[in-house]
Amino acid sequence: MEKAKSKACCTLDLNTEEQTRMIHISKALGNPIRFEILKFLLTHPGCITGDIVKYLPIAQATTSQHLKVLKECRLIEGEIEGTKSCYWLNEQTLLWYKSKIAEIF
């Protein structure tokens, strides 16, 4: 059985890169641990990994992995200070996401 993709008469024209970015950010937001990290950073900007690890009910390795996901989609930014890593929300990304969601839907 072959599947021919029919072109819709009037599909929404959204930049592919932008759409991919929207989906990545949504996926990152769609996990309870990562959502909790973002909320924590909201009230504790510039805190270190250790603070987040202490706050969360999961292992250090897993927390680090989640931070990586959030960094990759640029929802957060990090900076190494000596042996520690500080993290903040990336306001620009949040603004972009909010405005894009509002623009599309």
Partner DNA sequence: ATATTATATCGTATAAATACGATATAAAGG
Partner DNA sequence: CCTTTATATCGTATTTATACGATATAATAT
Query: Where do contacts with its own copies occur on this chain (CB under 8 A)?
Result: 3, 5-6, 8, 10-12, 14, 19-20, 22-32, 35, 38-40, 42-44, 54-59, 89, 94, 97-98, 101-102, 104-105
37 binds DNA (CB under 7 A): no
Residues 83-102 binding DNA (CB under 7 A) are 83-85
Q: How far is the CB of 57 from its own copies (least distance, A)?
A: 5
Q: Is 25 helix (H, G, I), strand (E, B) or coil?
A: helix
Candidates 29, 38, 48, 94: give the one binding DNA (CB under 7 A): 48
In the three-class reduction of DSSP (H, G, I as helix; E, B as strand; rest coil), residue 1 is classed as coil
Task: Write down the residue that tokens 């909320």 correspond to.
Answer: 39
Instruction: Give me the sign of the Cα torsion angle 36, 41, 43, 49.
Output: positive
Q: Which contacts (CB < 8 Å, 24+ apart) does range 11-15 have?
A: 12/104, 14/104
48 interface partner picked from DNA, its own copies, none, CB below 5 to 8 A per type: DNA
